A and B are shown apart, each in its own frame.
Chain A
Amino acid sequence: MGLGLSSFADQYEQRALVAAPGSLPAGPAALWVSTWIWPISLAMVAFLFLLFPTGRLRSRRWRPAAWFVGAVFALSTAALMAGATREWAHPSASFQQLVSPPVLAAMVICFPAALVVSGAAIVVRFARSAGEERLQLKWFAAAAVLVVATFIALILTNSNSVAAAILNNLALLCLDAAIAIAVLKYRLYEIDRIISRTLAYTIVTGLLVGLYAGLVLLATQVLSFSSPVAVAASTLTAAALFSPLRRRVQQVVDRRFNRARYDAEKMVAAFAVRLKDTVDPDAVQADLATVAQQALEPAHVSMWMNNGGYDSGSGSSSSPSQMPASFRAW
């Protein structure tokens, strides 16, 4: 609500005081609102960090931190409101004229400090989280990394690059979506796969681009091949290397970031090796059930076994109840 009011008040006062003076009533009031309301939106971001994803502080120890963050933003808003009221008759007053130098200095120090404290809250929560809460925080962290990266790009371009601004807004949209996924717990468990795939493709792309550029430079500058031949050979090499390299990198990344999948694949491979030497059907059934249980973690496992008299190669689509089969459940 604060952001909406801030956005509207900005445009309203611009129209009432700059674009068409006198065309709208209460222009100074809109300017007054837009002067002091913006810290409220920032406070909401700080409290999002403090309370996400449970809606509660992590422990009672974080209460002073929450009070500090609340006090910083409340006092800043109050100081700006007082300054805006004092300068009501001077719409062109600068920010330095609104608040006294000591207050301005305190705001410059306390605003980042409050954001750092709330950022620390979510980092600590992530470090000590487990289970579903960890996955919720992983969604948030993955999107937050994008926001920070695009924000750095925005700063590096002095906020002049339209592309950087658009990327930053897209990253903010991703953050919104990540918060929604985390809170709704919809597709919560996909995050490991997303992180692992993103990392793997980023690494593979970097390696292939580096390899391609290196081969082109080697062929054209060192070995003095003609340029089109060198480019074609480099492209073919990079294309040929894509699949094996992706598989290898994916395996390495999965081992670290998508451990569940990595462990499941190891388990299935070990089962395949054991299957070659096992002759007892009961042992195979029990082993298969154990592997399925451990790899997929289903609520229960049941297995239909064909006990002969049924032609499995005929392509029949008989239902299990019509088969001469045995049923076991774990």
Chain B
Amino acid sequence: MRARTARWVAGCAAAGSLALMVGGLILAYVDRHLVPAHVTNWDFSDVFGDMANMAIRVMGFVLLLGGPGTGSAGWHSRRAWGWG
């Protein structure tokens, strides 16, 4: 796989995943009064957990940016997977 393709695939996966999580949060907010209290995901710890999970995507996105010579992990991971 070419480096540019790998970057696009990873970027799209991270962006798609972030969009899905934001969508989930919006639905949790909309339904906060419509579902029983023990089922709702709209409380501080759940929302904070979702935020922490979003950070994983942001980190993956950061790691896959950049190229050789920039000291970024994008190059390291592509090299490790034999993509670059």
Decide: A3 near B24, CB < 8 A? Known: A162-B44, A166-B45.
no
A109 adjacent to chain B (CB < 8 Å): no
Closest residue of B by beta carbon distance from A182:
B73
In angstroms, Cα B25 to Cα A19, docked, is 15
For B57, what are the chain A residues with a Cβ–Cβ distance below 8 Å?
Answer: 4
Decide: A4 near B17, CB < 8 A? Known: A10-B24, A184-B72, A185-B71.
yes
Is there an interface contact between A173 and B55, defined as CB atoms closer than 8 Å? yes
For B20, give its contact among A4, A14, A184 (CB under 8 Å): A4
Is there an interface contact between A5 and B44, defined as CB atoms closer than 8 Å? no
Closest residue of A by beta carbon distance from B52:
A169
Contact with B along A161-183 (1 / 0, CB 8 A): 01001100110110011011001
Is there an interface contact between A179 and B59, defined as CB atoms closer than 8 Å? yes
Total chain A interface residues with beta-carbon distance under 8 A: 32
Is there an interface contact between B50 and A7, defined as CB atoms closer than 8 Å? yes
A94 adjacent to chain B (CB < 8 Å): no
Contact with B along A29-45 (1 / 0, CB 8 A): 00000000000000000
For A5, give its contact among B20, B25, B41 (CB under 8 Å): B20
For B80, give its contact among A5, A12, A54 (CB under 8 Å): A54
Closest residue of A by beta carbon distance from B33:
A19
Is there an interface contact between B34 and A19, defined as CB atoms closer than 8 Å? yes
Is there an interface contact between A56 and B53, defined as CB atoms closer than 8 Å? no
Contact with A along B17-60 (1 / 0, CB 8 A): 11111011101101100110001010111001111110111010
Is there an interface contact between B63 and A11, defined as CB atoms closer than 8 Å? no
B77 adjacent to chain A (CB < 8 Å): yes
A residues 249-301 in Cβ contact with B at 8 Å = none
Is there an interface contact between B18 and A4, defined as CB atoms closer than 8 Å? yes
For B45, what are the chain A residues with a Cβ–Cβ distance below 8 Å?
Answer: 162, 165-166, 169
A residues 53-79 in Cβ contact with B at 8 Å = 54-56
For B20, what are the chain A residues with a Cβ–Cβ distance below 8 Å?
Answer: 1, 4-5, 7-8
Is there an interface contact between A8 and B31, defined as CB atoms closer than 8 Å? no
In angstroms, Cα B35 to Cα A20, docked, is 9
Closest residue of B by beta carbon distance from A2:
B17
In angstroms, Cα B63 to Cα A177, docked, is 11
Minimal beta-carbon separation of B27 from chain A (angstroms): 4
For B49, what are the chain A residues with a Cβ–Cβ distance below 8 Å?
Answer: 165, 169
Is there an interface contact between A12 and B27, defined as CB atoms closer than 8 Å? yes
For A8, what are the chain B residues with a Cβ–Cβ distance below 8 Å?
Answer: 20-21, 23-24, 27
Is there an interface contact between A3 and B17, defined as CB atoms closer than 8 Å? yes
Is there an interface contact between B48 and A176, defined as CB atoms closer than 8 Å? no
For A14, give its contact among B17, B31, B59 (CB under 8 Å): B31
A134 adjacent to chain B (CB < 8 Å): no
Minimal beta-carbon separation of B13 from chain A (angstroms): 5
In angstroms, Cα B80 to Cα A323, docked, is 52
Decide: A15 near B27, CB < 8 A? Known: A3-B53, A165-B49.
yes
Minimal beta-carbon separation of A47 from chain B (angstroms): 12
Closest residue of B by beta carbon distance from A54:
B80
Q: Given contacts A8-B23, A162-B45, could you give 10 more A-B pairs where the C-beta distance is less than 8 Å?
A: A1-B17, A4-B57, A5-B20, A7-B24, A11-B41, A14-B35, A165-B48, A172-B52, A173-B55, A185-B71
Interface residues of A (CB under 8 A from B): 1, 3-5, 7-8, 10-12, 14-15, 18-20, 54-56, 162, 165-166, 169-170, 172-173, 176-177, 179-180, 183-186
Can you report 5 residue pairs joining A to B where beta carbons are below 8 Å apart? Answer: A14-B27, A166-B44, A177-B59, A179-B59, A183-B77
Closest 3 CB pairs of A and B: A55-B80, A4-B17, A4-B20
Interface residues of B (CB under 8 A from A): 13, 16-21, 23-25, 27-28, 30-31, 34-35, 39, 41, 43-45, 48-53, 55-57, 59, 62-63, 71-73, 76-77, 80-81
